[in-house]
A = this chain, B = another copy of it.
Amino acid sequence: MSVFCALSNEQVEEIDNSKGCNFYNKGQVVFHEGNRTNGIYCINKGKVKLFQIGSEGKEQIIRFAKAGDVVGYRALLSEEPLSASATAIEDDTTICFIPRDQIFSMIAQNPNFNFKFLKMLSHELGEAAKIITDLAQKPVRERLAETLLILKDTFELDEEKNIQVKLSREELANIVGTATESVIRLLSEFKKDKLIAVEGRNIKLLNIPGLTRVANVFE
Contact = CB atoms under 8 A, between A and B. Distances in A.
A177 B137 contact: yes
B55 A119 contact: no
A12 interface: no
A132 B133 contact: no
A76 B75 CA distance: 22
Number of this chain's copies in the assembly equals 2
B138 A135 contact: no
A118 B117 contact: yes
A131 B177 CA distance: 12
B130 A132 contact: no
Contacts of A118: 77, 107, 117-118, 121
Contact of A78 (B126, B136, B138): B126
B128 A52 contact: no
A127 B21 CA distance: 30
B83 A136 contact: no
A78 B77 CA distance: 17
Interface stretch (A2-10, A56-64, A180-188): A56-64
A131 B83 CA distance: 12
A123 B218 contact: no
A2 B128 CA distance: 23
Contact of A136 (B60, B74, B107, B218): B60
Given A122-B78, A136-B135, A129 B62 contact: yes
Nearest to A51: B133
Contacts of A111: 108
A41 interface: no
Interface of A: 52, 54-56, 58, 60, 62, 73-80, 83-84, 107-108, 111, 114, 117-119, 121-126, 128-138, 142, 176-177, 216-218
The 5 tightest CB contacts between A and B, nearest first, are A136-B177, A128-B128, A78-B122, A121-B121, A54-B137
10 contacts: A52-B129, A52-B133, A55-B218, A77-B119, A78-B123, A80-B126, A83-B125, A83-B130, A117-B118, A132-B135
